[in-house]
Chain A
Amino acid sequence: MTDFILRALLAGLCIAAIAGPLGSFVVWRRMSYFGDTLAHSSLLGIALGILLDIHLQLAVILGSVLFAVLLILLQRNKSLSTDTLLGILAHSTLAFGMLILALSDAVQINLVGYLFGDLLTVSTSDLWWIAMTTALLGIVLQKYWGQLLAVTVHEELAQVEGVPVSRLHALMVIMVALLIAVSMKIIGVLLITSLLIIPPAAARRYAKTPEQMAAGAGVTGCLAVCGGLLMSLYLDTPAGPSIVVTASVFFLISYLAPSLSGRKA
């Protein structure tokens, strides 16, 4: 029994450590609906993976990245507001995914597991995918941190100073898509955005710089994963909701507790 718990724990920690900094950008750039849309669309990736009989994790990653690119392109040609565009795509891709799954009688898949996460299903190969992807994301994030931050604070100022703004925006969307693609098994499609949003929100009040907020979010996320997995193990609750509930408790504590340094953020 310790094996699968250890795998789930390691996978969860990898994800939370990257979701903190990456999620801070999602919060700063107000991309949470973006994250939701990408998450919903990843179910379509699973459905297509099953239909075409290719490796599921690979199918989800490819599907999410393709979908992210599509979103970026659609957003550039501004015929619809981003909000409407995301609303249409989020739900139509989710619906398409469900339809394909319903019509393909080939395999019985654990749909609830994909929607809400299931730590029992994290295999050693899943763990490898998660570790490799999050390591890659960590390296990219580290490399482009300053530029991403400059673009987030003021896009035009950054552009005049020579930062390649649209390329960095695309990079950001693709990174979020990748993280969502590998997090699906453990957190689930419907809850993954919350792991991007809640830990940064909890860390906000105690941070003086973007870096402190990102690091605080990473730590908060890791604690939420530990707490959530313990809850899941002892109360037999689904993994994703347990992690998210733990994270939101941390957020509530941070929100209600008096500011550490006595300074209002």
Chain B
Amino acid sequence: MSHQCLVKASNISVQFADRQVLQNVNLSVHQGQIVTLIGPNGAGKTTLIRVILGLLPVQSGSVEKPAGLRIGYMPQKLHIEPTMPITVRRFLELAQRKDAEPIGRLLEEVQVSHLMDHQLGSISGGEMQRVLLARALSQSPQLLVLDEPAQGVDVAGQADLYQLINDIRTSHHCGVLMISHDLHLVMAKTDEVVCLNHHICCHGRPEQVSVDPSYLALFGKKEAKNLAVYTHHHNHHHDLTGEVVEHSHD
């Protein structure tokens, strides 16, 4: 891909106390590319993106980003302190950059305009993820970093959310780095899968990774089979009642 490299992490190793969390991890994300980080719980996925975001110091290795790179970050979950009253509008205003799109426009893009004046604590899990995505978009990001974006979203909503992320990648010309457990849903849209378990087990295009022995060892045959089915038969869409809807995704 000839697009600009947005972030290049080289030989990242992280140790907490005497536990080696990451070992010589290399990862890069280019403009227009979706890179999905998969791996079992505790594999160091969140640690890796925290290092890339600069939330954790680089213990060894290096993280290179172009100067002034605009990053939109969507954290794993947002705990709203119940003593704080705050509307969706006010929450998004907190992040406002001078050159950002107006809040109404941001909410429209993630399809939750109707939530503008709702209390943040009263919206559903799926709505919250979309609001968090809007907050990430408010940074006019060149790179989106999403930590399990579909967490707490019902099954029907998950596919829509990943579709939305895919659309955003196209419309904002940004790179996307995300952690996901929903392998079968994200694979079809992903350019590169990185399978992490403290070190990188395997990486490459989804169809390559899905037959990689180290991937199969980590996730088992069953999950891998699901994945293969979904990557190859991705020509229809289910509506909320489960009916098949003819719909082109790309």
A interface residues with partner B (beta carbon < 8 Å): 27-30, 146, 149-150, 152-154, 156-161, 200-201, 204, 207-210, 212-213, 265
Q: How far is the CB of B32 from chain A (nearest CB, A)?
A: 21
Complex A-B: 26 CB contacts under 8 Å:
A27-B83, A28-B84, A149-B94, A150-B95, A153-B81, A153-B86, A153-B91, A156-B50, A156-B53, A156-B55, A156-B73, A157-B73, A157-B78, A159-B54, A160-B53, A160-B54, A160-B145, A161-B95, A161-B139, A204-B83, A208-B85, A209-B85, A209-B90, A210-B90, A212-B85, A213-B85
Candidates A146, A157, A200; contact of B135 at CB < 8 Å: A157
Candidates B71, B84, B87, B94; contact of A160 at CB < 8 Å: B71
Q: Whole-angstrom distance between the alpha carbons of A265 and B122 in the complex?
A: 9
Asked if B73 and A213 make an inter-chain contact with CB atoms under 8 angstroms apart, the answer reads: no
Residue numbers in A under 8 Å from B80 (CB-CB): 153
Q: Whole-angstrom distance between the alpha carbons of A110 and B88 in the complex?
A: 50
Interface set, chain B 75-104, CB cutoff 8 A to A: 75, 78, 80-81, 83-87, 90-91, 94-95
Asked if B55 and A208 make an inter-chain contact with CB atoms under 8 angstroms apart, the answer reads: no
In this assembly, does B151 line the interface, its C-beta being within 8 Å of a C-beta of chain A? no
Residue numbers in B under 8 Å from A156 (CB-CB): 50, 53, 55, 73, 75
In this assembly, does B47 line the interface, its C-beta being within 8 Å of a C-beta of chain A? no
Asked if B55 and A159 make an inter-chain contact with CB atoms under 8 angstroms apart, the answer reads: yes
Residue numbers in B under 8 Å from A146 (CB-CB): 94
Residue numbers in B under 8 Å from A150 (CB-CB): 94-95
In this assembly, does B113 line the interface, its C-beta being within 8 Å of a C-beta of chain A? no
Q: Whole-angstrom distance between the alpha carbons of A237 and B145 in the complex?
A: 59
Candidates A29, A157, A201, A210; contact of B85 at CB < 8 Å: A210
Q: How far is the CB of B118 from chain A (nearest CB, A)?
A: 10
Residue of A with least CB distance to B77: A154
Residue numbers in B under 8 Å from A210 (CB-CB): 84-86, 90
Residue numbers in B under 8 Å from A159 (CB-CB): 54-55
Give the interface centre of B81, B94, B95, B145 by most chain A CB atoms within 10 Å. Answer: B94
Q: How far is the CB of A260 from chain B (nearest CB, A)?
A: 13
Asked if B55 and A153 make an inter-chain contact with CB atoms under 8 angstroms apart, the answer reads: no
Q: How far is the CB of B92 from chain A (nearest CB, A)?
A: 11
In this assembly, does B119 line the interface, its C-beta being within 8 Å of a C-beta of chain A? yes
Residue numbers in A under 8 Å from B145 (CB-CB): 160
